[in-house]
Amino acid sequence: MSTASAWTRQIADKLIDGKQDNDLIAAAIKQNDKVNAEAKLAVAKAAAAPKDAKKPSLPLSAYAGTYRDPWYGTVTVTEKRGRLAIDMSRSELLDGPLTPYDGDTFAAIWPDKTMKADAFVTFAVEGGKVTGMTMKPISDITDFSFDFQDLNLVRE
């Protein structure tokens, strides 16, 4: 239950029967804190690659380029000073570093933590060349409206 729903229900309970047996607001805050802690842990795990993680199969510069999805549009990956960055053209908030995670999968940890929308970016490599990339949320609390899983980004 969201905090807003808890407020509404608590006020309704008080108005309807004059009693306030349950502190719904405290329960909602406790649940929200638990979900946020779980998400923070998932992001921390993603930022640190697994112990048995493979290195990227190609030099980082090979991942740099422009990718296009018919629905979303353009996504640009750049390489500067040995680091990758991603720029989601339709959202200024979805621009940030790509950290190697495991093989050809990188973690996009967005600078704005309030979005709770960090994502795994997996590059498709065929014949020693990057042909595209897909994305998926790192955490289960990422809002479904980000639609990362629906992107099929093809390299231009």
pLDDT at 122: 98
pLDDT at 102: 94
CA dist., res. 36 & res. 115, Å (int): 11
Report pTM. Answer: 0.74
CA distance from start to end of the chain: 44
Domain range list for the chain:
3-47, 60-155
Confidence check: pLDDT of 142 > 70: yes
Mean pLDDT of the 53-78 span: 96
* Residue 61 or residue 29, greater confidence: 61
**Which DSSP state fits 1?**
-
With bands split at pLDDT 50, 70 and 90, how would you rate the model's confidence at 106?
A: very high
Torsion of the alpha carbons at 101, 102, 106 and 107, rounded to the nearest 10: -40
CATH placement of domain 60-155: 2.40.128.50
SS3 label, residue 71: coil
